[in-house]
Amino acid sequence: MGCGISSALTGRGDSQLRLHNASPSTSSSRLSLEAKIVLLGDSGVGKSSIALRFSRGRFPLYHEVTIGAAFLQQTVRLAQGNQLKLHIWDTGGQERFRAMAPLYYRDAAGAVVVYDVTAPSSLEAVKFWTKELRQHLGSCCIVVAANKCDLLVGASDVTEEQQQQPQQQQQQQQEGEEEGPSSAAAPAETAADTEKYKNNLAQVKRGIEEVKSFCASNEFAFIECSAKTGQNVNRLFEDLARDVFMRLKDATPADI
């Protein structure tokens, strides 16, 4: 998942190790560790909604702009009785907060780069934020989250019903010619909307494949999710927590 041992754990200091507070539990075979996780992405992509869905199990009814950063905590239970407490930093994505972003993701062991699958500039946004992480953190576990997948409808849903609409609308237009122009105009508009929707859907799917390819070539994990429905949100953090835990465990001195 794009993980690596950071410089803080390889001889240039132990600040990250102290921050994560690696502390064994009462059982010598179990570990209870802590890690800082940062959420990055453009404004409005759903970072706060993902964090709220994971930590509170709910979806916000109204969109509120994150000022600076918000802070949440959630513990993930792992295999063999181990657990990792996540200190989640939800950062603001607006331009005026970007200069402060390095302050928020400093010493993070893991990062979630969130983007909106319906945004036309998705790939550029992912490239920007992953580059930021590589420049300022050196190495950490990175996962790219394609949010708002609930807005996508499968091709089968389009072709079975909507694909038949143009023929039906043409027949309705012919039957309704004597009833005036208003009865024929509405179906024609629906046909155009259907075609536009199908084109937009195809464009979004191409965008997802582009981001997937970028992540694969850079060894970033990728997952499609929906903060609104909860699809894959828990899995997103559980997979990230597992990889972060293994990295910290391998770097933790045996006598801590």
CATH code, domain with 13:
3.40.50.300
Nearest-angstrom CA–CA distance, 128 and 120 = 15
Q: Answer with the residue of higher pLDDT: 15 or 24.
A: 24
pLDDT value, residue 158: 41
- Domain membership of residue 41 (yes or no) is yes
* Domain assignment present for 103: yes
Position 178 in a domain: no
Total domains present in the chain: 1
- Residue 137's pLDDT band, with cuts at 50, 70 and 90, is confident
Write down the pLDDT at residue 192: 64
State the pLDDT at residue 191.
64
Is pLDDT of 175 > 90? no
d(CA 37, CA 219): 18
The Cα diameter of the chain in Å comes to: 89
Does residue 106 belong to any structural domain of this protein? Answer: yes
Side chain identity, residue 202? A
Which two tokens mark 36?
A: 């800082």
Domain span at 16:
7-151+219-251
Q: What pLDDT sits at residue 104?
A: 80
Reported pTM: 0.73
Burial 183-221 (b: 16+ CB within 10 A, else e): ebeebeeebeebeeebeebeebeebbeebeebbeeeebb
Instruction: Provide the percentage of residues in the chain whose pLDDT is more than 90.
Output: 40
